[in-house]
Structures are given as C-alpha cells and as structure tokens.
Amino acid sequence: MAFETYLIYLAAVAVFFATPPDTSQLLIISNSVRYGLRKSVYTIAGDLSANCMQMTGAAFGLAAVIATSATAFNMIKWCGVVYLVWIGVQLIRSSDDVSDVGANRSGQALRLYRQGFVTSMANPFAVVFFGALFPQFIDPASAILPQLLILGVTYLVVDGAILALWGWLGARASSVLKRHSLRLVNKICGTLMIVAAALLGSQDFQTR
C-alpha cells in the first residue's frame, strides 16, 4: 500500500466520523455521564472488540451475505433495536443511584463491556461498511493480510479516540447534571438509548 493511499484512507475514516453521534457513541456518552470516563472505557473496549470481529467477518465474505440477505440484515438490526430500547427503559425506570457504588466491580465492568460489544455487533451496517471500505485501499499486487491489519488497526485507533472524546464530553456534562438530580441523569441517559434505537431502526439497506 502506497503512503499516499494510506493518507487518503485516513482522511476517509476521519470524514466518516465527522457526523452526529451514532448508536455506540450515544451509549458511551450515556455510560460516561452515569459512571465517569474511567468506567466507560469498558464500554469502549466492548465496542472495539466487536469491530474486530466485524472486520474479520467482512474479510471472510460475511458482508456480502448480510448485504444480499434482507432477512439476516433485518434480524441483526432489530435485535439491536430491542436491546437498546431495553437499556433505555431500564435507565428511565431506575432509581436515583447513578454510580452503583454497591455493585461488584468486576460484574459492573463486564456489564459495561457487554453493552458496548452487543450494541456494536447488533449494527449490521458495520460489517457491510468494512466490506465496502477496505477493498478500495488494498493493492492486490502486494500481500493482502498486512494491508488489512494496517487498515483495521488504523480504524480502531481513530474510532477509539473518537469514542474517548465523546466519553470525556459525557463525563464533563455529568458534573453539571448531577447537581440538579441523579434521577434526571438516568432519564436523560435512558432517552439517549431510545434515540439510538430509533436511529438504528430508521436506517435501511437496499439489498440486491
């Protein structure tokens, strides 16, 4: 891969993230508001882990399956919608306890990781996106695997930095929100999750 091609890829990824927050980013904001940036890192790790699996699936042709099967695509998408709505409703109905101080730390870390992983994996657009993006920047005359690794790691680094930035903004906002009402924090975070579910549900992909 030529260095100029890599720079174009980097610019393309940057442009892709220059949009309003998506479902995963809204989840990061929500968890950062409730628990702080340090704990929301578990959610970021879950999201990036899912991205790794989606990249692998795209490399093995899973993107083509999802892109051509309306049933598979919609099944994955609506499972994600239901999961996000469930999280949102639980938050809105929860008590004033935002920090979950009494919760087991390892259990809480696993729960936050699972939220990030499931939310990202439940978005079928990600696999299709990787399947469409990577071939545009791969030189078929060179070894494919090293190029895939470079493209994948670069995406994960940029994605992780963007998620951390949204998390930092959420953590900053939490100090202001908690001064008013802890229950208000839960309701705002729950609403964010339902908005994320609506965004995912409203998206569509025209299969061939």
Domains: count for the chain: 1
Spatial neighbors of 162 by CB under 8 A, at least 6 apart, are 17, 25
Instruction: Count other Cβ atoms within 10 Å, centred on residue 197.
Output: 24
Assess if residue 14 is contained within a domain: no
pTM of the model: 0.76
Assess if residue 11 is contained within a domain: no
The residue-averaged pLDDT of 144-173 equals 89
| Helix (H/G/I), strand (E/B), else coil: 140 | coil
Assess if residue 85 is contained within a domain: yes
Assess if residue 17 is contained within a domain: no
**How far apart, in whole angstroms, are the C-alpha atoms of residue 45 and residue 113?**
6
What's the Cα-to-Cα distance from 64 to each of 70, 131, 139, 145, 207, rounded to whole Å? 11, 8, 20, 19, 10
Assess if residue 30 is contained within a domain: yes
Assess if residue 10 is contained within a domain: no
Q: Using alpha carbons, select from 43, 17, 47 the residue that is nearest to residue 30.
A: 43
% the chain with pLDDT above 90:
14
Assess if residue 7 is contained within a domain: no
Question: Domain of 149?
Answer: 23-202
Assess if residue 58 is contained within a domain: yes
The pLDDT confidence band at residue 165, using thresholds 50, 70 and 90, is very high
> Looking at the predicted structure, is the pLDDT value of residue 95 above 70?
no
The residue-averaged pLDDT of 166-180 equals 77
